[in-house]
Amino acid sequence: MHTDKRMWILEGGWVLYRGFILFLTFLFYTAYHLSRKPISIVKSELHKNCSTVIRPVDLNITDNDTWCDWVPFDQDNYQTLFGVLDNSFLVAYAIGMFFSGIFGERLPLRYYLSVGMLLSGVFTCLFGLGYYWEIHSLWYYAFIQVMNGLMQTTGWPAVVACVGNWFGKGKRGFIMGVWNSHTSVGNILGSLIAGVFVSSAWGMSFIVPGIIIASTGILCFFFLVETAAGLTQFYYSTQTLSVFVHINKICHFLVMSISTEIPEIVEDHSKAISFCGALRIPGVVEFSLCLMFAKLVSYTFLYWLPLYISNVAHFKAKEAGDMSTLFDVGGIVGGIMAGLVSDFTGGRASTCYVMLIAAAPMLFLYNYIGQKSLGITIGMLLVCGALVNGPYALITTAVSADLGTHESLRGNSRALSTVSAIIDGTGSIGAALGPLLAGLISPTGWNNVFYMLIAADVLACLLLSRLVYKEIKGWCGPRLRG
């Protein structure tokens, strides 16, 4: 069997599937974020300025201010009600994430991801069906959000574990920086898809993304291979498909041209790490708490930026949603740059620290001058997106993978899913708090919301201080000894 494995690798399967895993997991988490985004686009349609909408003459309506709103979001406290929806998802996501990593290490990741995506698709569609079934109960939509939040926790620990299993530490920051653009790509696609239907039939803004994520769950079931050790079985189950045979022949030449060294495939029989054991890994607590505040800022933008643009710049729902995608475009660039810089310097914490420090004044400027002209709006959204999402992307990917394969674990590769879940779960507490606080604070003025975001950025920096000092000391140490 060992000879068969080496032959499979020589035929190019290892190279082929290593890249294919990167593509598959990118696609999967793009679908996860794509299905999260519609709620932020639809908010401005559920409650809008009805006096600017042409009212049908055959409707016997006495209240011109609320006739076009979707009950129950026609009330003056609509921002608080939107906050309830956001937090129904985010609190469930934060709580579920701490358990998801434990399940992810003990269950086959292929089944875990497939079921999670299928059920997430179902609940996303159910939210949209509320439009066609004319459901006006806040509790219906809140319950759907809770269930969807729980289902979405299956994604992150599983995809990070898969990528970590296939890629070493060499250029992990850059590889995962590029790969982590799935978050922003999903947000962009979710915004654009939701924007197509938001003004005509907002239910389809949820149903279409729901169908997409369910479809990727089916794709996951048939094609995901979790580790290189499982590659041989997959090869023999698909060798009748001529397409794999031909691609493998091409990849054979790539393998031989890159290196004559064949990577050894080792079965992993290590035990899953405990929750407390994962917390004892150096750096896990600091990065988890830092991510909590970094994600507070990022998710506040994710859920409230379209409404902010609509209210302040007076864009329509679709236009505001399209404009908000620029923040995610900046996030793609920021994530890649953070990965490149941290690979070059070896300072994950320092890279995050610098970007977070720079983000605080940029948020202040965006609030005060960001809407003065279209050019300034575009530029500020791109810069803010890069600085806000860069540290968030780096911590949830390369940092999580580094800590999940830390030297203190002595080769136990099964800690990756739990570590990723702890870091992202703690971050998700901030993701829940941010939109909630924005909903409570925004009635007092958007300025106060931005002050809250700036304070969160500063706190995130302070929590990394010890790790930054340690990295700087490591850089300066050899020079001082010399």
Residue 60 in any domain: the answer is no
Q: Which segments of 69-108 does DSSP mark as H helices, in order?
A: 78-106
293 versus 436: the higher-pLDDT residue is 293
The CA distance from 321 to 308, in Å, is 10
Q: For residue 87, give the nearest of 288, 367, 304 by alpha carbon.
A: 304
CATH code (residue 118): 1.20.1250.20
Give the SS3 label for residue 55: coil
pLDDT at 407 over 80: no
Residue 61 in any domain: the answer is no
The segment with the largest mean pLDDT, out of 220-229, 254-263, 375-384, is: 375-384
Tell me, what's the pLDDT at 241? 42
**What would the two tokens of residue 457 be?**
């950025």
Which residues make Cβ contacts (< 8 Å) with residue 112, sequence separation at least 6?
103, 104, 154, 158
The CA distance from 281 to 403, in Å, is 7
185 versus 404: the higher-pLDDT residue is 185
pLDDT tens-digit readout, 320-333: 888 888 998 999 99
The CA distance from 212 to 217, in Å, is 9
Residue 243: phi, psi to the nearest 5?
-60, -40
pLDDT tens-digit readout, 116-127: 999 999 999 999
**What would the two tokens of residue 333 be?**
């660039």
Which residues make Cβ contacts (< 8 Å) with residue 53, sequence separation at least 6?
68
pLDDT tens-digit readout, 423-454: 888 888 898 888 888 888 888 888 999 999 99
Residue 67 in any domain: the answer is no
Question: What percent of the chain is modeled with pLDDT above 90?
Answer: 31
Residue appearing with tokens 């080792």: 266
Residue 144 in any domain: the answer is yes
| Residue 63: exposure state from Cβ atoms within 10 A (0-12, 13-18, ≥19) | exposed
| Residue 307: exposure state from Cβ atoms within 10 A (0-12, 13-18, ≥19) | buried
The CA distance from 234 to 190, in Å, is 32
**What would the two tokens of residue 357 be?**
């420090």
> How long is the chain?
482
* Least confident segment among 57-71, 176-190, 272-286, 343-357: 57-71
pLDDT tens-digit readout, 61-107: 555 566 677 888 888 888 888 888 988 998 899 888 888 877 777 78
Instruction: Report the pLDDT averaged over residues 21-36.
Output: 92
Q: Which segments of 153-283 does DSSP mark as H helices, in order?
A: 155-166, 172-179, 182-197, 204-223, 231-238, 242-258, 275-279
Question: What percent of the chain is modeled with pLDDT above 70?
Answer: 77
Tell me, what's the pLDDT at 238? 47
Distances in whole angstroms, Cα of residue 11 to Cα of each of 6, 184, 263: 9, 35, 13
pLDDT at 114 over 90: yes
The neighbour count for residue 237, using CB atoms within 10 Å, is: 9
Amino acid at 145: Q
Domain extent at residue 37 = 2-46+73-260+272-481
Residue 375 in any domain: the answer is yes
Number of independent structural domains in the chain = 1
Contact 399, 287 (CB under 8 A): yes
Residue 21: phi, psi to the nearest 5?
-65, -40
The CA distance from 464 to 286, in Å, is 6
Distances in whole angstroms, Cα of residue 203 to Cα of each of 67, 164, 317: 19, 37, 15
Residue 81 in any domain: the answer is yes
Residue 63 in any domain: the answer is no
With vertex at residue 42, the alpha carbon angle to CA 389 and CA 87, rounded to the nearest 5 degrees, is 60
pTM for the full predicted model: 0.74
Question: What would you measure as the largest C-alpha separation in the chain, in angstroms?
Answer: 86
Contact 456, 297 (CB under 8 A): yes
The CA distance from 420 to 396, in Å, is 7
Residue 265 in any domain: the answer is no
Q: End-to-end CA distance of the chain, in Å?
A: 52
